[in-house]
Structure formats: C-alpha cells, structure tokens
Structure 1
Amino acid sequence: MDTEGTSNCYIADRGGKSYSFTATIMGNGVDGIIDNGEFEDAMGNKLAKVTGADILPLSAKLLWQDTDELVEQVALVDNRVQVKMGRSRGNAVIAVYDNVNPNAVNAKILWSWHLWCTATPGLITYSASRYTGNEYKVMDRNLGATTATGGLGTTQGLSYQWGRKDPYSGSLSYDGKRTVLYDIRSAESEVEYSKNEPATIGQTISTPHICNMGTSDTYSWCKDNDLYMKYLWGNPTGTDKVFPQSTSKTIYDPCPVGYKVAPGDVFQVLAKTGWVWAHSNIAYYFYIKNGYSHGSSFYCDGTGADETKVIYLPEVYLPNWVAGDLSLSGKYWTSSLYGEKKAFTFTFTLQGSYMLPVNRRFADVGSVRCIKE
C-alpha cells in the first residue's frame, strides 16, 4: 500500500486480498512536519524534521470496522502491518502499540491508520480562476464513502474533527440510525464521545477512538495553544479571504497517499457571486445542477454550463457535541481557518446554502473532500 508513499489513509480497492504498509512511519513522515506548528507524537514529544517521524511498534490491532468481516486478520510482521481483507466495501481503523500484547491494560497506541476499501475514486478537474487561478483535481466522493451516487447512504463517508487525522462513523443509510461498528471477532465496537476537557494533540493520537467533543462552550478539541491549530492541516496562511497557491500535506492530514484536504476556494467557486452567508433560495446564488433528497450536485466550472464539471456533495449524518447524537448536515471542512479560532467551511442544506465559520468550533465534526497534491 505504501509503494507511492506513506499516509494516514490507504485505499484498498480490491476485496479479498492481503495488503501491508510500513508501521514505523507516522503519517507521511518528515515531509508532513511543520516545525513552527509544535507537532507532537502520541507520547507528547515534540516533532521536528531533524528528528524524524519514526516509531517502533510492537503489535497491531483492528480498532473498528463499519462492515462486519471487512478486515479478517491483522498482524505486525517485520515492522509492517499486514492485513487480510474480506470481500466487502467499507472502512476500518488499525492501530499499532508499544506493547507486544495490544490488549494489555498498559498498552498504548503509537499511531493509527484508516483503511478505505472502495473502488478507486474518480477525479473532477476544474479551475477556481474566478477567485485565485488555482487548478484542482477533486475526488468524486467524500473521504470514507464507498459510492459516489446521489441519494445512497454509502455516499456519506466518514466525519472528522478539524485538524485531526482519525475518522468517526455516522450512518450508512438515511434512516438516521448510527452505523454498527465491529471488532476483529465480529463483536460490536464503539467510538467514544468525550464531553470532558479538551485533549492535547498527543493524547488524541493515543486515543483515536475518542471524539473529544468538549462542552457547549468549548470551541476546540485541543487544549494546546490556539496559535498552533492553523498548522495542523497545512494551510497556516489560508483564511476565508486568502487562498494560497499551494498548501502542504501534514503528518495529521487524513487523506490517502497523493491527496490532501481541500482549501477554501475549492468550494467558493460553486457560488455565482462572492460570499453568500445565508439565503433560502440555494439555486439563485449557487450553480446547482440537480437537487436530491439528501444532497446537491453543483457545477464547478464557474459558469453553470459545463456538464463535465459537476461535483456531488451529499448531506451526511454527523455526530454532534451531544455525545452519540446524529444530525444531518452538508458541512465540509477546508484546510483554511476563519480568524484564529474558527474553522472555515462550506455548508449547505436543501433549504439554503451558505459559507460560514461553523460556530467557531474545532470540536465539531464534518466531511472531508480530498484533492490531488
């Protein structure tokens, strides 16, 4: 899986196969470290390019999978995670530990990876020239989605807290029922939702199965200095008004090899004019091709005419800050910030569409759409 590089997510495009990837490199390695960002490993040690991004795990384990028997076996052999896959489509999270027994009480997670078993995603190529001149190749589906067809629950994908690398499950259907998660023995597993104090970056790495939602008045999952948050997804100078020509893929980026989180102008080009903060008539202000019961397809050509430049964005059942609850939202993270303490997102509903800073909450969860590096 790591022939073309390492990452926090690997696409397994053929079921019933065996795969492997290196277990000794965190994310995309030293290339993903920004020294000014005060990055950390699972132990809380500061990361720097000169010291590298290596770990020495002693065991591996499946944390959860959203389809039973998607992952049949997991092992750590010669510093590589080896995975035997079933024939299903879906998502799984695998972790490596500092103990030869991953189930030991004192075993600590050193890193974790998302296995995304889907057909190879297609790409939509377009220019955000009305605003920046930047060219993008955008995935045809949400990160974690196993389909790209409008109206299907499997098009929703997984959700993420801004700046974190690990995914959380919502629903595989539009009935609002939470996805059942399984461990390697087909027993039901759970993602935990914490309403306690925010965690450090290192603590969230060692607890990828915990979504640190905070409280109703806590904006961030991270209790580290807010000045460092802007570095986590590699776009420290990007804002709602500034779109750099290039962004970097960090060690915490959740996208597969060769991809990174989309910056803000990827979505801004969907609007016919500048910012639209809220309006009841979505089609008047946005280039809508089709509206579905749970999502919309947008022209991304800047004119609303090119049938080959269309992107479908589904609404998704996301966990909200009330632990365990699900809410339907068309909330899409970008790597940009809105000010110093707000995440810049594209959010739409079938009743209206708008760009907004999502209540200033890094602790919220949203969907991710990857672009080619």
Structure 2
Amino acid sequence: MKKIILLLLLIAGASVSCRRSGGPQGDGAGLTVFRLNPGTIGLKQTKAVSVQEDALADVAVLQFDASGRFVKYIYKGGTVTDNELVLDLVSGAEQTVVFVANVADDAPFKGFGGTLGECRALTRSVADEAALTAGGRLPMYGEYRGTIDGGQTRAAVVMRRAAAKIELSYWVDIPDAADKQVSFTLRSIRLRNVPQVMSYADPAEIYPAVSAAFGDYPEVPVAVQPTPEAKGSQVWYVPENKRGTGTAELASQKTAAALSPGGEKATYVEMTGDYTQDGKTAEVVYRLYLGADPVKDYNVVRNTIYRIEAAIKGINLVDLRITPIHLVDVEEPGVDDEPTQDASFGVASPANCFMVVPGSSVTFDPRIQGNGGAGAQPIAPKSMGVLWQEGDGVNPLIRNVAFAPSQATVYASSKIARGGNAVVAAYSGENCTGDILWSWHIWVTDYRPDGTKDYGLGENSYASVDGGQVHTYGTKFMAAVKAVTPTRNRVIMDRNLGAAKAYYIPPQANDSEAPLAFGLAYQWGRKDPFPQWDGVSTTSPVPVPIYGTDGKVRLVENATDGFRKIPGPVTLNDVIKTPLTFYYSVADPSDWLTPQNNTLWGNGTGKSIYDPCPAGWRVAPNDIWQDFKDDVFPYYIQGDLREDGLETESAKTNGRLYRISVSGSGIGAWFPATGFYFGGNGNILQGELVDVGNKGAYWTSTASTYYVLYMWYDMNKIYLSGETYRSNSRPVRCIQE
C-alpha cells in the first residue's frame, strides 16, 4: 500500500521569524485584519453525517499582553467570510491573540479574565463523537504573537483542528483459505479508549491523564463481508490521545502491555469475528492500536488523519498499515502571491533533515536533537531563523520561519521551482542571538521517497516515486542490507543528499543542469551540510552562492556569518554552535573532532542523532558499494564512456554510472565527480575544493580505527572500501533505516 506522510500546519504559535521585527508599539485601539488558515483536509468525505472539516465559524478571540495578562475578549458569531476577521484590538508589542473557532459564545471563554497560561489550559467535555462534531464542525485553535498596531497589522493565523480523523479500510484475505478449510466472518468493528475530554490548545506531552474519563464509540455491525475487491470502510473523529512510545519491536507486539504507564488508555480499533477451521468456530478479536506507526507509537494527535489499512490474513495475522496524514494548505503570514501545495515526507518524525515541496512547509519540534535517539539532550530555544540558504539572490528559498517554544514551521517558496537547500537554526536568545543550540537542513525538493515503505524490490531494481526513483543494487548490496534487516530489502535514494536532480543516464557535454545532481558536502560524522561546487570552473572551483535570511544578501566566504574554514580539532559542542564552519585538521589523525568518536553516524549499525539523512533514512553503511565493479560502473567524460581520461578533461558532467547492461537499460544511478573539500593534515589546500570534475567519493557510516571507510573513484579506477580522513567533506547517499 502506498504510504503518505504529509504535514498539516502543526504550528499554533508565533508567525514571526528572526528576520521580522516586532514593529512600533501602539498605545491605542485600531482595526487589525487576521486571515485564519485552517488548511484543507481535502479527502473524500465518507462520513454519513457530513462534518465540515474546513469550516470556520463562531470564533472566540482573547487578547493577552506581553506578560500574559488578559486584555480583551471578542466573539464573532456566524460564518467567517473569506476566512478573514477584522478586529478592534488594543495596540501593543508582544501581544498574544488566541482564536478558538466553532465554539459557542459562553463559558469558558465569555467572561474569562485569567492569564494566557490559564487560557491554554482550558478544556471541553466531549461525551461522544456527536459532542465533538457539534454543529457539523470541528473545534479549532490558533494563536498570533506579535505587535498589534491598529490599521497597520495584517497577519495570518494557522488554525489547527483540536481533533484527529481516523479512516479505517479493512478486508479479509486469508491465503489458500479453501485448501486449508478455513474461513473468517467479520461481525463488527469498534473504536475503544476514546478520551471524553478535549484541550482547546495543544496539550502536554502525555494527555489526557489516565484518571480522565474515557469511553468507547458504538459498535458498528459489518453487514457485508469485506474483500480485497470490495473493502469495508469507517470514519471516526476523536479528541487527541497522547500516550507516548512503547517497547514493541514487531507490530504483533503492539499491545497495551507494551506501553507502561498508560497503555490501558491507548486508543485502538477492535475487530471481532468468527474464525472457522475444520468445522470448529471460535470468536477472534483483533486490537489495532493507533499511532504514527504500527509498532511503537501510541499517540493520536490533533489535526491529523490516521489512515488504517487492515487486511485480516489469518487467526493471528493482520497485515496492518497505519499512515498519519497531516495535510497542508499553507500561506506565509502577509504573503498572498504564493500558491498552496501539499507538504513533504518524513516531517512528522524528528530528524536533522526535512524534505519540503516547493511552496509548502514543514513543522517540527525544535526541542529535539536529531532523531531523538541515544544521547539526545533536551534544548529550550528562544528563537529560530534561517542561517543560510541557496537561491537566486532575488527570491528567498525560505519565506518564513514561524516559531513557538514547542513547534517551528519553515515555509518554502514556490518561486524557486528547482528547490534547493537551507539550514535553519535554534538560538538560546531572542531574535536569533546567543548560541546556536541545534540546526536543521531543509531540503526543498519535489523528490518524495518514503523511508518507511517496503518497495518489495529485488536486486538491481528501481521503483518510481514522486519526483524520482528509489534503487537497489546487486547481490552484495542485498547482503549488506539484510545483515541489518533480514526481513526487508532496503532501498537507496537515486540522488545525493540535497541534490535537486537525479540522472539515470550520463549527462551530456555542457549540460547546464549537471551541477543540480551534486547535492551537498559533509564532514564525516557531522549533521550539517556545506554548499557544494558550483560546477563552473575546474581550475579555480568555488561553492554555490549562499544567502542570508532575506535570500538577497550573499554570505561572503570566511566572513563572520559566511562559510568559514578554520583549523581544528574542536568538540561536538563547538560544531553544534558553528554549523557553517569547516574545521580542517592540523595534526594526525586528521579529524575535526577531539576526542574521536566512531559512532557519530551509527558505525554501520543504525541511525544516530548526528545522522544527516531525513526521517526513515540513514547514511549508507560499508559494503553498500561492493557491486560497483568496472564493468557495471564505468566512467563517462562529458557523456562519452571512457576510462582513459586526463585531469585536463575534468568537467561538471563527468562521473560514473551504475547500470546493469552495456546499453544502460534497467537501473541507472548517476554518481557525479563532485570532488571534495580537503581537510587533512599538512597540505596547503586545507579547506579548499579539490579534484572537481575528476574524482568522486561517497561516505559510509562505518569507521575504522582512526579513519573512516568510503567509496571513491576517478577516471581510471575505483576503490570500493578505502580509508580516509574524517575532516574531508564529501557527498552522502541515504539508504532506508
């Protein structure tokens, strides 16, 4: 089944980034225009009783000052025309305006005079689904933070539904049922452990408490037996139920017992039926626990659709697919000329890289380091902004960074259709001051592979995905991935991390787009990228231009805020604070880090908090490249197959193509000759781009005693498992976790 992971407007906080000032402080009242943006669920309505999922009406508005004290209450009854509200608010800086839509003009908002914190703690009793969807609408919540300057302020507010939608598709498909003389009759389905209380604002990490009221939705009889050709379906709306992460390793182990504490309150779908074998019938009950994945996650969060595909295969087997769909319909505050698009894969899970479709957005928790794995420490940023970005020098690649303490949303422009790369940073101080606490790579691309999907590919195969392909290589590749995950064939991306394009045949001479396949460069073990060679000159190579927050001011190399190259080694804490600084080595063993650490990228066994790949992907381990022999991995010089090239023939279109036939039919994976940043000891070229248009190399996550293993090649030879300095900077190609 195709797994879709799209993100819907999870930010309910400030709509201002570090580049946006608070504006003048007013001292009087004035009219302020707010555009309320609920996004759009955009899926076919399957509920018998229509619920207007995108509707905005009956809005309670509460204003608070900089200290969180209550200032004003306004109620706008009826439908919100064109999603815009014109409000007479009190002017002032650092104001917070709370919007609660689809609620009555009564308690707890009318007459409220508490603090902002007390407002965010308000709840609503929802005895059943009808109470949650009263009036055919879903309650929504959003906040604006910033200056209110009467007649001057015009802002957008992202509204999030304070409920989740569950779409269940189910069928019975028992293999060889007739031969085995078995059958299964599904009698009913039911949703259990549904909270009967709802928080208007985003609640705590675990919510509601186990002591709160929970109930079950009514049993739904199954009148017609579902088959693969005629599947059954059911839709529910539920309050969110955040229960945390369990300890199961397999989907069959995801039970209440695998989550402690709170497993007894986790929401699940119950399917009841009769299993018959050899003339004997027994009742069978399947419990399918909800969450972001079928194994560990037990969280049902607001503003999310959980698409469940359940195929009953036998008495102890349900082939289960759970897809959290967070749909998007984004506009940057104050910007009306950008089209809206859907969001990217992988954004629901923490990572150091997020893939975002041009014109869309990604929302994540900025308090989490990397993928939140072993060694991750909590951080508490006070601001966020763009550190650097690629672009055209006219339009910013990143339109805005909206930040709240527990959520950040990064908006990508649609005006740079090819996409590009950026790094956003979280700071210890307000307005992007103080130390950088962590940073994230934003890969703006229409390439959308699914890191969680089993593509079912054999050797030397590919599958088409949105914007490109995913690949497998030969026998040794398969052996390497099965050594880690014996039950599944992992796939690898068709391009370098950060690349705007993939080639499946060699680029021809003077192909102007060849540098789009270069991607980014990484020092081994670091999570943050550096800009790659621009592909223009092979004798005096320079990286692609990068820009500051506004996308117009070019950052000068070795300037305070530009791409810096200075001697190391340094500590991990140092590189976290300086993601755009390349540290070259001045002594053996030519590492940027002291003390050395072999596990920064997992050392071939898993993903670490410093892994630069998106969620569901990791840096490829050693042995992945072992199928790349001369006969299937030839060198091309400006489109011509040649293994006798000279350094003077270096060019941006040079590189090697992995293919399974001389004609290039079947799988084709292009590996450009990007060169690399030299970071080793005792060389006058420290920090410089070298061997561009001639040599190429790819990191593995595997370390040796002092160095690391990598695959490299030039015009005449291939080294499939060499050793090199960790301080060099090379491309990465990501494989599924």
Q: 1:306: Cα distance to partner?
A: 8.5
Query: What SS class does the counterpart of residue 94 from structure 1 fall into?
Result: strand
Equivalences for residues 1-373 of structure 1 within 5 A: 3-13=347-357, 15-30=358-373, 33=374, 47=375, 53-67=377-391, 68=393, 69-87=396-414, 88=416, 89-102=419-432, 104=433, 107-120=434-447, 121-129=468-476, 132=479, 134=481, 135-149=489-503, 150-151=506-507, 152-175=514-537, 176-185=541-550, 186-189=552-555, 190-195=562-567, 197-215=568-586, 217-224=588-595, 226=596, 229-235=597-603, 247-271=605-629, 285-288=630-633, 291-293=636-638, 294-299=654-659, 307-321=665-679, 322-327=685-690, 328=692, 329-337=695-703, 339-358=704-723, 360-373=724-737
Query: In structure 2, do the counterparts of structure 1 residues 258 and 292 end up closer, same or farther at CA, with 3 Å as the change threshold?
Result: farther
Please tell me the residue identity of whatever aligns with 2:699.
W
Indicate the residue corresponding to 2:296 in structure 1.
Answer: none
Query: In structure 2, do the counterparts of structure 1 residues 334 and 133 end up closer, same or farther at CA, with 3 Å as the change threshold?
Result: closer
Please tell me the residue identity of whatever aligns with 1:192.
R
Q: 1:173: Cα distance to partner?
A: 2.5
Point out the more displaced range, 113-122 or 157-166.
Answer: 113-122
Alignment check: 8 A CA contact 1:127 1:136 kept: no
Q: 1:24: Cα distance to partner?
A: 1.1
Alignment check: 8 A CA contact 1:154 1:173 kept: no
Q: How far, CA to CA, are the matches of 1:306 and 1:133 in structure 2?
A: 24
Q: 1:3: Cα distance to partner?
A: 4.7
Q: How far, CA to CA, are the matches of 1:130 and 1:21 in structure 2?
A: 33
Q: How far, CA to CA, are the matches of 1:18 and 1:132 in structure 2?
A: 37
Gaps of 5+ in 1: 34-46, 239-246, 272-284
Alignment check: 8 A CA contact 2:526 2:612 kept: yes
Q: 1:202: Cα distance to partner?
A: 1.5
Q: How far, CA to CA, are the matches of 1:25 and 1:288 in structure 2?
A: 40
Alignment check: 8 A CA contact 1:139 1:369 kept: yes
Query: In structure 2, do the counterparts of structure 1 residues 289 and 187 end up closer, same or farther at CA, with 3 Å as the change threshold?
Result: same
Q: 1:289: Cα distance to partner?
A: 5.7
Q: How far, CA to CA, are the matches of 1:169 and 1:367 in structure 2?
A: 10
Q: 1:95: Cα distance to partner?
A: 0.4
C-alpha RMSD of the superposition = 2.3
Q: Deviations over 1:41-94 (max 9, x none)?
A: xxxxxx3xxxx6321111001111121411122231242222222122100000
Q: Which runs of structure 1 show a deviation greater than 4 angstroms over 4 or more consecutive aligned residues?
A: 303-306
Query: In structure 2, do the counterparts of structure 1 residues 132 and 18 end up closer, same or farther at CA, with 3 Å as the change threshold?
Result: closer
Q: 1:342: Cα distance to partner?
A: 1.1
Please tell me the residue identity of whatever aligns with 1:53.
Q
Q: 1:292: Cα distance to partner?
A: 4.3
Q: How far, CA to CA, are the matches of 1:257 and 1:64 in structure 2?
A: 22
Gaps of 5+ in 2: 1-6, 8-345, 448-467, 482-488, 508-513, 556-561, 639-653, 680-684
Query: What SS class does the counterpart of residue 613 from structure 2 fall into?
Result: coil
Q: How far, CA to CA, are the matches of 1:183 and 1:70 in structure 2?
A: 10
Larger Rg: 2
Alignment check: 8 A CA contact 1:288 1:304 kept: no
Q: Give me the TM-score of the superposition, normalised by structure 1.
A: 0.79
Q: How far, CA to CA, are the matches of 2:677 and 2:480 in structure 1?
A: 35
Q: How far, CA to CA, are the matches of 2:677 and 2:699 in structure 1?
A: 15
Instruction: Using CA pairs under 8 Å that are at least 6 residues apart, name the structure with larger relative contact order, 1 or 2.
Output: 1
Q: Deviations over 1:224-269 (max 9, x none)?
A: 1x3xx2211112xx5xxxxxxxx21110000011100001211111
Alignment check: 8 A CA contact 2:361 2:412 kept: yes
Q: How far, CA to CA, are the matches of 2:477 and 2:524 in structure 1?
A: 27
Query: In structure 2, do the counterparts of structure 1 residues 367 and 78 end up closer, same or farther at CA, with 3 Å as the change threshold?
Result: same
Q: How far, CA to CA, are the matches of 2:349 and 2:613 in structure 1?
A: 12
Query: In structure 2, do the counterparts of structure 1 residues 258 and 21 end up closer, same or farther at CA, with 3 Å as the change threshold?
Result: same
Alignment check: 8 A CA contact 2:381 2:437 kept: yes
Alignment check: 8 A CA contact 2:359 2:413 kept: yes
Alignment check: 8 A CA contact 2:622 2:721 kept: no
Q: How far, CA to CA, are the matches of 1:306 and 1:292 in structure 2?
A: 16
Q: 1:147: Cα distance to partner?
A: 0.4
Please tell me the residue identity of whatever aligns with 2:554.
E
Query: In structure 2, do the counterparts of structure 1 residues 23 and 133 end up closer, same or farther at CA, with 3 Å as the change threshold?
Result: closer
Please tell me the residue identity of whatever aligns with 2:444.
C
Q: How far, CA to CA, are the matches of 2:478 and 2:634 in structure 1?
A: 21
Indicate the residue corresponding to 2:268 in structure 1.
Answer: none
Query: What SS class does the counterpart of residue 429 from structure 2 fall into?
Result: coil
Query: What SS class does the counterpart of residue 74 from structure 1 fall into?
Result: strand
Q: 1:22: Cα distance to partner?
A: 1.4
Indicate the residue corresponding to 2:453 in structure 1.
Answer: none
Q: How far, CA to CA, are the matches of 1:113 and 1:184 in structure 2?
A: 15
Q: How far, CA to CA, are the matches of 1:128 and 1:174 in structure 2?
A: 37
Query: In structure 2, do the counterparts of structure 1 residues 108 and 133 end up closer, same or farther at CA, with 3 Å as the change threshold?
Result: closer
Number of aligned residue pairs: 319
Query: What SS class does the counterpart of residue 625 from structure 2 fall into?
Result: helix
Please tell me the residue identity of whatever aligns with 2:592.
W
Query: What SS class does the counterpart of residue 430 from structure 2 fall into?
Result: coil
Please tell me the residue identity of whatever aligns with 1:366.
R
Point out the more displaced range, 363-372 or 52-61.
Answer: 52-61
Q: How far, CA to CA, are the matches of 1:297 and 1:202 in structure 2?
A: 39
Q: How far, CA to CA, are the matches of 2:707 and 2:696 in structure 1?
A: 18
Q: Deviations over 1:133-155 (max 9, x none)?
A: 63431100000110012440110
Q: How far, CA to CA, are the matches of 1:159 and 1:309 in structure 2?
A: 25
Alignment check: 8 A CA contact 1:56 1:98 kept: yes
Please tell me the residue identity of whatever aligns with 1:115.
I
Q: How far, CA to CA, are the matches of 1:218 and 1:288 in structure 2?
A: 31
Please tell me the residue identity of whatever aligns with 1:367.
P
Query: In structure 2, do the counterparts of structure 1 residues 130 and 347 end up closer, same or farther at CA, with 3 Å as the change threshold?
Result: closer
